[in-house]
Amino acid sequence: MIFNNKEDEKYMRVAIDQAEIARENGDVPVGAVIVHNGRMIAKAYNQRQQLNDPTAHAEIIALTQAAAAVGNWRLEGCTIYVTLEPCTMCAGALVLARIDRLVYGCNDPKTGACGSLYNIVQDERLNHRLEITRGVMEEECRKQLQAFFANRRVENKHNQ
């Protein structure tokens, strides 16, 4: 498969827009998009606060949508675009779903499981591995997260 950087940026822009919805709803701004055969089949954002569900990460919601769209839990031939490096739960779900490729914006040094702390999606002991493209629109993704947490710290200071 040949991947076009313009395509990566196009879909990462949609993921960033999804992350903005999460922020507006008071959740950590993470967005995800899944593309299959050049067609976007899922887009989602973090909804942990909204749903009171610790598993309601953007990636998990997008995987559910994508599986429904293709009528199969095996998401071979799919690329997922995520604004933040997936955590261990999401990385494991990407492997189990047989996603072919992961494209993400910025690393997550505290919980990242696709190269920062662990590399679950490329662990040779598992039965499936993903191709990874890191750093697509990295600065914009990082700034979105940094602004969210800076605002949260100010709010917390005022509420003390």
The residues carrying an active-site annotation are 59
Q: For residue 75, how many C-alpha atoms fall within 13 Å in the half-sphere facing its CB?
A: 31
The C-alpha atoms of residue 158 and residue 152 are separated, in whole angstroms, by 10
Cβ(55)–Cβ(110) below 8 Å:
no
Question: Beta partners for 32?
Answer: 44, 82
DSSP 33: E
110 phi and psi, to 5 degrees?
-95, -35
Cβ(27)–Cβ(74) below 8 Å:
no
